[in-house]
Each structure stands twice: as structure tokens, then as C-alpha cells.
Structure 1
Amino acid sequence: MSEPHVQGILLAEFDIDKGASLTYQYPKPTGTDEHVLAELMLPDGAHLREEDWTVFFLNQQAPSQDAPLTPLGEKPPLVYVLNLVRTKHDASARRGAMVKALAICTKHQYLDIYKPILLLALESYFSKPSEIILEDLYAAVNEMDLSLLPEFTPLERRILRASSSGGMFEEKFLALEKQDEKLLDLTSKSDNPTKSPVQLVVRNKDRHFFETSISYSGIRIPIRIPLTLSSEEVGDFSLIKLFSTFGNTPAKPFSGPLPPELMTDGPYTHPIIVLLNSLLTQRRVLFLGAGRPSGEVAQFVLAACALGSGGSLRGFTERAFPYTNLTNIDQLLEFPGFIAGVTNSIFENHPTWWDILCNINTGKIIVSKDIEPLKAGTSIYSTGQGRAPSNQAPISSSTIISEESGGGGSKKDRAADSEMMAIIQSHYGENALRARTQEYIARFIQVVALHEETSYGHTDVGLATRHTINAGGLLGSGVIFVDDAARARELRSNRSRIEAWRGTLSHRYRQEDFHNYLKTRTIEHMDVERQLSKLRMLRSLRSDEVEAMYGAFLQHVHTEEQIRGGLKPIATGLFHPSRAVRDFTVEFLERINAHTVSRLEENVDPKLCDLSSPYYSSFSSLGWSRLERDLFRVSTDSIA
């Protein structure tokens, strides 16, 4: 029997005598303290609003300082809780109002698909309070048909997100839909028997979503499940809102403690970079929205998890508390590096509870005056809260800053932050911003791999020479820098942040994910990302190196599984002075053009071209056509 979509339904009510009370847990108790559940479902100030949405997680396990760490693959999966709380004014009720909350517990990341049915079910419960409402709701959501939901690899999800084509990866859907007997029945009953099943299925469908439905109380509720979510993206959130709230504050220097792993640009580090560094280095991050709806605060926490992950890292959601309160403070403080959202201003007055405070009302990020320095090479999980043994000295912020010319600063951080804010101001959209944060985190991982390789002689987070068969020649392996000075500068400015990240849970997860990647990767003879980075970043390349690069593309990229990623840098080879490079490029692009994804993509969103679009410009297309004609003419002449 397949696992249910929803593990449980919860109902809580506010009783004037008992306070917040958990009335029902269906079909069985969750195992979480009932008082804690009731307080989370009825957030602070719920009685002041007609409606509020709350998100919180179950099955979170704080690491024990004495017990050994649970193997990464043996942890119970998180259960995500979407909660709706409503206040109905009723003159006949005590204090003139009734406050009730209904929640769905699921392992699905796409929580928001359940909002319409929660609204209907809670309205029914207000009209006729009964456990039968929960039983009917549980049955309805678990009858949702997901048998034809396709599975995508992380890279395929990124391509799907970057594409504007509604028919991307159509073949994955059709392979499943052709097995469905309903599709065959639909074909036989069609008014036009000449139409194929493919024509019937493709019409009016956007393959960025999977469309299904839920039937509840005689109402058919259409459901659209997003298919582009990465492992750390949960629910509905906006990176644009996160950046707009905390990224537009005046450029004032931070005062007080300046931990070097957070202040990679000294006291003038941009607040967004401070937040990102705090997430990466597993500091305790608290979002405060005093007087705001708990659902709004929760969205900031979910956005922060996605920001830190960048689509590549894990370990953020399992230490996240999208909404919490004073009732849950003891559990919260057990988690090193929590990411939490609160609405009670009392938290601001206890700086020992947090390291970084993000005040949503003011848009300011505050570093706790009581923040303690991390020690180089120390695991946050080995000694609790990131404290190192007393015989290890903390990293000095003044040492890190003085190593940079002009008093400090990471040029890469400043450029990335400016670019991300420009994306927002130019209205490129949420997908473009997420794509840019993915690029930022991916490069950070590459820099970490280089740091570990040069400092410790070994890395398990990114490709090194030993991982790539042809890395010893002209192709090379690893991260690309524009020159040696930029290489030294970026390594220095990232040193403290890297050493702090190496002691975190997300670093351990990255090692596990990288080992799995090495077992399943389709191209072993070259570091493809390095070659594309050369074409994007370097102003000049030796002809023999470019020839070796395009020759390697042509030699080692054949199957559809190998044909993935950005064509725009590759297409620059069409205009290289070397005839061999131009010929290699044409032949390689012909091979890619035969791939299913290339055939489906016809209309590319120009806003994504410079960020994540896997396609090339019309100028490149004209160059390709011209060279194709030249190659055809040469081959014809040789035959004659």
C-alpha cells in the first residue's frame, strides 16, 4: 500500500477557561505534545484577525552533545504542517467570538495546494463541529490521484524552471499517461478518431505543473502541483520579498561584534550577505514580525531556507521553525543554528537566544551583542552552539579584514548582491532571482572545494583533479578565476566563512550528495562546469585550449542524459578564429539540436537569457546557419 499524501489532520480551539486546546488528532496522535501543537495552531494575536495561515514542522530532532549523530539516511522525514486559523464573531459565544484552527500534516513540500480544501473543511466545522469533518477531509485528500506524477532529477528541475515552454519534458508525462486506461477510453470516445493520444493530452497544459483534483463534499477542487521545487523549497514564499525587505536599507556599517565568517566585507557587508553567511555557517537566525500575521513571518523563514540552500545544499529545513512562540522556546534553544519566525517582541529583548535578528518591521538585521566567535575547524554539532575547545583560538576579524587591500571586502559578494538587487528592480521575476542565488551557492561550493584541496590535500564537496579523467591536460578541473590576483583575493575573503561552514550539518550533507553524484554522473572525462565558466568569464583563451575544449564536448557528450545545461557560452565557439573550433561547435550544436528538450523549446523568455536560459541568441543562430552551409559545401566539394 502506498504512503498516504496526508499523515494526519489536527483541530484546535480556543477555550476561554482552558486556553488553547487540541480537540482532535486524526487518525492517530502525532507524538508531539498536545499543548505545544495547540499553541502553534493558535498563534499570538490570532483573535485579532479573521484569518491566518501558519506553517510549522514535525519530526525535528535536535542533535545530542553526548549521543552519536544519527546517520544522515536514517533520520525520519520531516512532516510539514499547513494550519488555517479563523476567528468568527458570534454574539451568542462567550467573549463574542469563536477561534478555531484546522491543520493538514503532510510530507509534501507543496503545502499550498491544500489551502482551498482547508477553507471548505474549516467552514464546515464551524457550521457543524464533529470529528466526521476530519474523517471526510482525510479521506478526500488521500484519494488525490498522483499516479501519473513524473519524477525529475535536480538538473531537469532547473531546466524546467528556466524554460518558458509549456511542453518541456513532455515525453516524461506521455510515458506515464499512455499507461493510463482513462486516456485510452478518452481516445476511443473522441469525436475526431484521427487524433492521437498525444494531441489530446498536450492541449492547454503547462508542464511546469502537474494537474489533478480533489473531490470534497461534492465539489471538485482543481490542483496544480509545482514540479520545479528543490529539496529545501517548502510552501509558498518569495525571495524577492526577502531581498526587498532587508536589502534596501541604507548602507550603514554594522557596529558591535563583527564575526569574520559573517562580515566578509567588514562592517560594510551588505545585510543580505550577512544573512546568507549566517545561514551557511549555522548561526541562530530569528525573524521577528511583531504584530504581524504568523503566516507572513513563516514565509520569510521558508525563503531563508531556500536562500541558504541555493538548490544545492541541504540541512536548512530540518532546523527551521517557520512559526514558533514562547511555549516552544526550550526545544528551539536545543537546536544549534535554528532558523525561526516569531511575532512576540519579547524575543528581541533576549539577545542570548539568537545570534542574528531580522526585524521585518524595520528591515534591519542585528548581530547579537552576546554572539560568541566560532573556532577554526570546529564542528557546531560536536561541542554545541559552535563553541570550540578552549585550547583553540577564535578567528580574528581584524586579521581577515587586514588581508584585503583597502581594508577588506569580497568583490564577488558585492557584485552578486548588486546583481540580485538589479534583478528585482528590473522586474525579472522570482525564477530569475532564484537562478542567480543558485549560481552564487554553486560557486561558493567550488571555492570551498579548492580551499580544501589546497589546504588539506583532499575535498569531498566538489570536483578536483582526481575526480576527472582528462583534468590533467588543457581542460583542468575546478573553479575558474579571471586571474591569479582574483583567485588569491577570493580565497582569502572566504577563508573564515569556509572554515565555519566545514563544521556544519549542510557540509556533511554536501559530502554525501557529492559521493552520490560521482556514482551517477554521466560525463566523467571532463569538468563541464569549468569549461562553461571559462567561456563565460575569461576574456581570452589560447586556441589550443579552446580546440581541446570543443573537441572534448564532441567526443564525450552523446546521450540525452549528457546533453543538459547552457548553450549560450558554447555558441561563442561559432565565432572563434580557429576553423577547427568552429567546426567542432557546429557539429556539437547539431547533436544538441536533435535532443528532445531543444525541439520543444521555441519561445525563450529574454529576461532569463543572461541568467539561466539553456539557449542561445538569434545572432548565434545566424552564425550557426552560415557555418552549416560552409560545412555542407566543403563536404560536397570533397565528394565531387
Structure 2
Amino acid sequence: MSQDVQHCSFVLVADFDIDRGAQLTYQFPQPLGTDEGLLANLMLPDGAERQPTDWTVFFLNQTPFNTIKPPLAIESDEGRSAAEEGSNMLYGINLVRTKLDKTARRGAIVKAMAIVTRYPFVQIFKPVLLLALDDYFMNPSQDCLARLFDAVNAMDLSNMPVLTRYEKIIMRNTERQDVMIGRSFEDYTYADPGTAVQHPTSHTARPGHRPTNSGDSRVSFEDGLLMRNKKDREGNVRNGGGESYKSTSGMRSPTSPSEASFSLDGSAVWVGDESGLDQMGFVATASAASASSTSVSSVAGRGRRSTDASSSSSHGPYARGTDGAHSLAGASVTSAALKDSHFYHTAINYNEHLLPVKVPLSTFPEEVGEGSLTMLCTTFSPAITTMTGPLHPHLHTNGALTPPVIVLFNALITGKRIIFLGHHKLAENVSNHVLAACALGSGCGVVLRGFIKRAFPYATLINREEWETIPGYIAGVTNPIFETAGSWDLLCDIGTNRMVVSKEIHANHPASWSSSHPLMSRTGALKAESSIGSEEDVVRVQTKEGGSALKPELAGRPDSADNLFIEDVLGAIASHYSEAHVRAKFTEYVLRFVRIAARYEEDVLGSTSISWPTASYSEHPGEKPRLGSGAYFADDATCARDLAVNASRIEAWRRTECYKLFQADWKHVVATNPIQGFDLPHQLSRLRFAKSMSDGEAELIFRTIAENLHTYDQVTELLAWLPPHLHGLQPLSFGLFHQQEAVRELAVDLLNELRAYPIGVQFLQALNHFQRYAYVRQAYAKEQRLKDSNSLAIPQSAFMSRTPSNRSESSLGGG
């Protein structure tokens, strides 16, 4: 990232005057050219005087009424990173503080300070804002703003790597603290916040991913073990043979070389052996702290190390160049391992206070601030949430049993007006719920976009007429007057755990199609929109004592896919799974929704513009076999049910701006993906879920993937579709046990290709011991066959070159 980028665009200060109300006191380095009253009220939320500290988030350049008009160009487009190009959004993180003062009227002083930046990860500026606002309370002058502005812009992000889309997805889906450490170290060395000096990185010693796939440069843990086992066997034969040999740790092992190498009590655990990583010094730190690398920590914890020379510093998977260069690389990676590689570690020097800063590397533009999906699901869990209001087909995809979070998701993607109300709550609470809702609707920024553009984390009465005119707004408020005004479609009360659907929902969003719809007539499972919702259909739970029961189509099914999904998410939260894990589940959920929507378009409209067309694997005599594509369903009944359940919200989604943005994104992704020409997610779904598969299809899937896996970018795309929560490389490992030798060979080739890259090694380490043993045993056997064939070919050619008569006989024989 270029150092020319201004990390801080503006610094703002607002004060509360007892007579004039909220006032914008300072704008540095220049006036923003927008409504000062609006900014002041965004920075000083209602009830701020009753709270010692509060935080809010606001956006600029979002809509016409909050677009700034500075007379000077603060930042040029040339300095922006690739992730920021095309975006004019500015994000504000604001701190408001109330200090008691007996000399002041009403006994308190209320001031607020905000940093406006182009970065969505605004939370990194919280520590420096705390210091700066304290400084301003003691010395309320513009000099304080200038010091903050200069300090933030002096923060060094020049060496921060800009990850590709698929690198980000890999990083966010794993909790390994050493993930992508090779990729990160390739671009920079972690800076110690306690020192201003960075160690230079030798280009010849970079332990990054190999640009080529030459076999002689691929010496890793398993290669060393293979060579050692061969030497041990040869030595055993020379010493009489027939007897079992002993491993380097002195433990007796079976006579089979592959089994000996896999001995968990011995010195080698194949892919799980950490000798190559241990020599770089981070097995006992980063890997042991990684929750998802159990095999790594278990091996490192017992201190198992390989003694093979091929795993030494001169042959390790990251080693390049001279010994001195390797020492520098090893020291730098060791330093990097002490920190979580999910973040770029730097510092802000403010008033001689060196504040460490952790910049997240895998943030997407739709993820702003600290909105937590764990918090959102907990606030509106089915057990404590009260649902009221009429049922609507866009929102209640499972009738009265639709989980509250799914109702919220449906409202988000179908463009409904949503308000988060937090009466007597901190403005920070409602802001974080709004930001979490944006992450929910967008699939955590990975799938959809357009939610931040219509989000107002904290909204006020001052410009209510303006932000309420934004279609499908998502607003956070603390004033209960917004509930009585009724200018919303869905109200989410975070204080009382209520979710209310507006009584005017059917008038504002009428049913769009009838029972003559072709999908409904074909499936027979979906009722017409006009028949499943009226103002009298209030969400309620049928009791055992009896009472008025809901219509069958309104009651819902407790075992629906959405209900089971939310149960799974809440179970993960109850088991203390991380926020990253919860986000990965919702990303997968939104991806699935989009794929189903594409299939729906094909069935209803005849074609789709948001995904691969639906096709089954075909194999006909005289024709080249063709892989399948499109959304995968276990059977026709599941397909019909999923299409019927999703039809209403798909129809509503297709009329939103979010859908148009996704259309454009899909077109761009298809044109720029490293892996081209086939539907990779479909093939992986077939490997994961197919109940039966022909040998021809299995071979074609593995062959096609293997033939499209030659570059680092292609490897990262494949691994991005194999996240840990979906068992990582397990679908590919199935090929190792296929009945056809050709499929097993292709699976070995594919895993060998992954092994050439550090990130691929990390994924291989996550396989269980049985899968790793099968892989290494077959890889070893294949390598031996190649060596044996080469050893037979060379002497024969040498003999022929020395014997002219043989050459003539050979040529005659060939004729």
C-alpha cells in the first residue's frame, strides 16, 4: 500500500452548548462543505450527556445530503489501494465523552472528536482517539487536531500486503495464526511497535510461494522423509535385510517403509511433521496457538523432529539463497510468528505515546467497524425474541416459524426499510447492530454488496426526511419516536428483544405474482403470495391448549433448512466458537441462496445471469464427456422444496439494486477468475454430497482440477472453496481411495501441486492421519515407479550408444 495515501482525511470536533445545542467546533484541515448541524448531531447522539463515554460511526459521500465538497483535493485516486478504487465512501469513527464540571452549566462538559478515513476498519483508530480527546479537554485548540491528523497519517502502512479476493477468503476462514505467513512475509517484515527501525528483507531469501513448479525446487517435509526411508531401506538391505529397521528416534517400526514413516510414535508424521517449520522457529508459537492445526500442535508439543538432512535449513520449504540470507529470513519469520498474521502490525506515535495498531488484512468493503454477527444472533435468538406483526412472503419464508435472524436477512436482501431501536441504550450498541446487519445481508462482504451504501449506523431527527427517503435504509436510532412514526417495514428493538413487522407491509410491498406462476404450478409446494399474508395474520405460536391455529401454509416447518441453519449457528455460539466461524457459516448461507436464485431464474425465465447454467454430467459414446454445473441438490425433491421456499424472496431480491450489483460482480468474476472454463464449486459439491458418481465423472473432475492448478492464484482459488468448517481438503482426499487407479493418480498429482506452496502445506496438515497416510504412501509409490522407469531407461540408452550394431538392429526392428 502506498505511503502517499492519507490514512486520515479529516479530524472533526463537536461541542454541546446549553443554549445552541450541538455545534461543530473544528474541521481540520479544511471545512467539509456539508451540513455542519448534521455532522454535529451525528457526533453528539441523544442522551450523550447521561453517558460518560459513547462511540458512533457515520458515513460521508454516501448520499447527496452528506456528500462533502472540499475546495482542495485532499487525496488523489493514484494513492488508493486496489480494494479502494472506485469507492468514494468516507467512514467516520467518533468518540463522545462527558466530564463532570461544577463550574459548567448543568455540571458537565460534553465534547466529541471524530476521525474520517477511507478505511472501513475504523476501529483501529479507537486508542489514539481516546488520547486525543483527553488532550483536547485539557487544551481545546486546533493544535490538538493537527497533532492527531499528522500522527495518524504518519502511520506506516507502506509494506502492508494487499491480498487478493481468494487470499482474503482463505485468511478469514481459518484461525491459524500463521496462515498466509509466507505470503505476508514475501512483502514485508512485521514491525515491532517498540522500534522505528525495520529490518530489510533480502529478495533472494524471501520464503514466499514459489513462482514455478519445477520438481527440483520442491523439497519439503515429505520429500525428505521419502528419501530418508529409501536410504534406511537400502542400508537395511546392505546389513543383511529381512529384519525390521529402526527409525531415527530408536522406536521399532514395521518392515513396510510407508508404515514406518507414518508411525505416530516415531520421528516422522509425513505432512504433519514439522521439522521444516520448526527450523524457522514458529512451530511452538504460531502453530501451537492455532486452533485449527491440531496435528501441528500435537507434534510440536511432543518435540518430534526429523533428523533428515533434507529437512535442514538448506532444503526447507522456505529456504532460498545463501546461508546468511536464510538466517535473516528465518529470524524475520520467527518474529512474524509471534504475531497473528491475520493483521498487519504497525504503530501510531501520538504525543510520544507509541500505540500498537493491528490492521485487519481480510476486510471487505461491506464490513465496517466492529459489528458482530454473534451479538446479532444472540440478541434476536428465537428463544428470547418476540415476533409481532403480519406475515409477509418476502420475510417469512417458513411461515410463523421463520427464525428472527432469517426474517432480518430476508428484509435486508429484499430492500425493506429497517430500524434498530435502542431506547436508553448507548449509540454504540445500535451502531454495531446496524453494521452487523450489513455483514449479515452481504455474506460478510464476500457475496453481495450495496448495504453499507444505505446504512445509517446512528440516525437523528435532524435530517430524518432525507435519510428516510433512501430506498431500503438500515438505520440505528435511540429515540422511541421513530417507532410511533411508523416509517419502517421492520423494527428491531435491541433493548426489549422485539422484532415488529409493520402493519402496512402489504400496502408498501404488495404481492407480485399469483398461483399461476410456472414454478408453483410445477412444484405444487408454494402458495401464492396473495394468499399467505394479510394484516390479520399475526405471528404467533400455536399452544398445546388449543386456540386459533394458523393456516397450514403459515405455520411453517420446524425442520426447515433455515431453522436447522440457525440452530447450528446458535449451537456454535453456545459452544464458544469464534466470530470468524460464525461469519463463515453466514457467508456459506448467502452463497447458497445466490446459487438457488440462479437455478430459480433458469426454471422461471429460461436462463440466468448470476451463475453457471444448470447442467448434469454427460457421457455419450463418440462425444467428449462434459462436467455438470449450477447449484447442486441432493435430489429432485430437495430441489423443488428449496426453490419453492426461496421463490418469494428471490423475486423480491431481483428487483433491488443489490441484485444488479451482483450481476455486474458475477460478470467480472467469471472474466477474471484464475481458474477458467468450469464450475469449480459444483464439482466440489459433487465430491462432498453426491450419493453416487460414475467412474468417468470422478476421473474427469479430478483431471480438470489438476489441469487447472499450475499457478499460485489458481491454488488460492481452489483452497478458498475448501474452508476448514467444510472439512478442508477432505473432498479431494476421497480420490485417494477411489477404485480406479487413474483417479487415485490424479488425486496424488493434485495434492502434490498443493504441497508446493506453504498455504497448501497448511491445508494438507489439517487432513486426518488416515488421509495423510494414504496420500504419502501413494505419492511415494508413484515416485518410486518414476525413478525405476528412469533408471531402466538410462543404462539401455547408454549401452545402445556404445554398440553400433545394436542401434542398427533396433532401427531394423522398428521398421
TM-score, normalised with respect to structure 1: 0.87
Contact 1:469 1:525 in 2 (8 A): no
- Cα shift at 1:402: 9.0
Mapped pair 1:294 → 2:427: yes
Contact 1:377 1:503 in 2 (8 A): no
User: Considering only aligned residues, what root-mean-square deviation do their CA atoms show, in Å?
Assistant: 3.2
Structure 1 counterpart of 2:125:
114
Query: Which deviates more from structure 2 when the two are superposed, residues 519-528 or residues 496-505?
Result: 519-528
Residues in 2 aligned to 1:178 and 1:116: alpha-carbon distance in whole angstroms: 24
Structure 2 counterpart of 1:386:
none
Residues in 1 aligned to 2:468 and 2:408: alpha-carbon distance in whole angstroms: 19
Mapped pair 1:209 → 2:209: no
Query: Which deviates more from structure 2 when the two are superposed, residues 520-529 or residues 242-251?
Result: 242-251
Paired residue type of 1:446: R
- Cα shift at 1:120: 0.9
Residues in 2 aligned to 1:405 and 1:544: alpha-carbon distance in whole angstroms: 45
Is there any run of 5+ residues in structure 2 with no aligned partner, and where? 66-83, 203-322, 514-527, 535-549, 723-728, 793-815
Structure 2 counterpart of 1:4:
6
- Cα shift at 1:40: 1.2
Structure 1 counterpart of 2:681:
529
Query: Which deviates more from structure 2 when the two are superposed, residues 196-205 or residues 223-232?
Result: 196-205
Aligned match for 1:369, one of 494, 497, 503:
503
- Cα shift at 1:370: 1.6
- Cα shift at 1:9: 0.8
Mapped pair 1:439 → 2:575: no
- Cα shift at 1:269: 0.8
Paired residue type of 1:86: R
TM-score, normalised with respect to structure 2: 0.69
Query: CA 1:528–1:410 in structure 2 vs 1: closer, same or farther (change >3 Å)?
Result: farther
Residues in 1 aligned to 2:154 and 2:420: alpha-carbon distance in whole angstroms: 37
Paired residue type of 1:621: R
Residues in 1 aligned to 2:763 and 2:389: alpha-carbon distance in whole angstroms: 52
Structure 2 counterpart of 1:329:
464
Structure 2 counterpart of 1:578:
740
Residues in 1 aligned to 2:168 and 2:531: alpha-carbon distance in whole angstroms: 39
**1:561 alignment partner, SS class:** helix
Mapped pair 1:317 → 2:456: no
Structure 1 counterpart of 2:479:
344
Q: Deviations over 1:221-273 (max 9, x none)?
A: 11110112122111112111100110143587x55422101110012211111
Q: Select the structure of larger CA radius of gyration.
A: 2
- Cα shift at 1:403: 10
Residues in 1 aligned to 2:705 and 2:87: alpha-carbon distance in whole angstroms: 42
Residues in 1 aligned to 2:753 and 2:738: alpha-carbon distance in whole angstroms: 19
- Cα shift at 1:407: 6.1
Report % sequence identity: 40
- Cα shift at 1:633: 5.7
Paired residue type of 1:540: S
- Cα shift at 1:437: 0.3
Aligned match for 1:516, one of 668, 671, 676:
668
Contact 1:22 1:38 in 2 (8 A): yes
Aligned match for 2:30, one of 11, 19, 28:
28
How do residues 167-246 of structure 1 correspond to structure 2 at under 5 angstroms? 167-177=178-188, 183=198, 196-202=327-333, 203=335, 204-246=338-380
Query: CA 1:47–1:399 in structure 2 vs 1: closer, same or farther (change >3 Å)?
Result: closer
Is there any run of 5+ residues in structure 1 with no aligned partner, and where? 64-72, 379-393, 604-614
Q: Which portions of structure 1, spanning 4 or more consecutive aligned residues, are displaced by more than 4 angstroms?
A: 73-76, 178-187, 192-195, 375-378, 399-410, 468-474, 600-603, 632-640
How do residues 228-627 of structure 1 correspond to structure 2 at under 5 angstroms? 228-249=362-383, 256-310=389-443, 311-351=446-486, 353-371=487-505, 372=507, 374=509, 395-398=529-532, 411-464=560-613, 473-563=625-715, 564-565=718-719, 566=722, 567-600=729-762, 615-627=766-778
Contact 1:255 1:267 in 2 (8 A): no
Residues in 1 aligned to 2:475 and 2:555: alpha-carbon distance in whole angstroms: 36
Structure 2 counterpart of 1:611:
none
Query: Which deviates more from structure 2 when the two are superposed, residues 172-181 or residues 240-249?
Result: 172-181
- Cα shift at 1:58: 1.3
Paired residue type of 2:775: W
Structure 2 counterpart of 1:59:
61
Aligned match for 2:91, one of 80, 84, 87:
80
Structure 1 counterpart of 2:258:
none
Residues in 2 aligned to 1:399 and 1:47: alpha-carbon distance in whole angstroms: 44
- Cα shift at 1:397: 5.0
Paired residue type of 2:654: R
- Cα shift at 1:60: 1.7
Contact 1:270 1:414 in 2 (8 A): yes
Residues in 1 aligned to 2:631 and 2:669: alpha-carbon distance in whole angstroms: 17
Q: Deviations over 1:88-130 (max 9, x none)?
A: 1011112111100011111101111111111111111111111
Residues in 1 aligned to 2:85 and 2:754: alpha-carbon distance in whole angstroms: 40
Residues in 2 aligned to 1:336 and 1:405: alpha-carbon distance in whole angstroms: 28
Query: CA 1:399–1:278 in structure 2 vs 1: closer, same or farther (change >3 Å)?
Result: closer
Residues in 1 aligned to 2:764 and 2:778: alpha-carbon distance in whole angstroms: 22
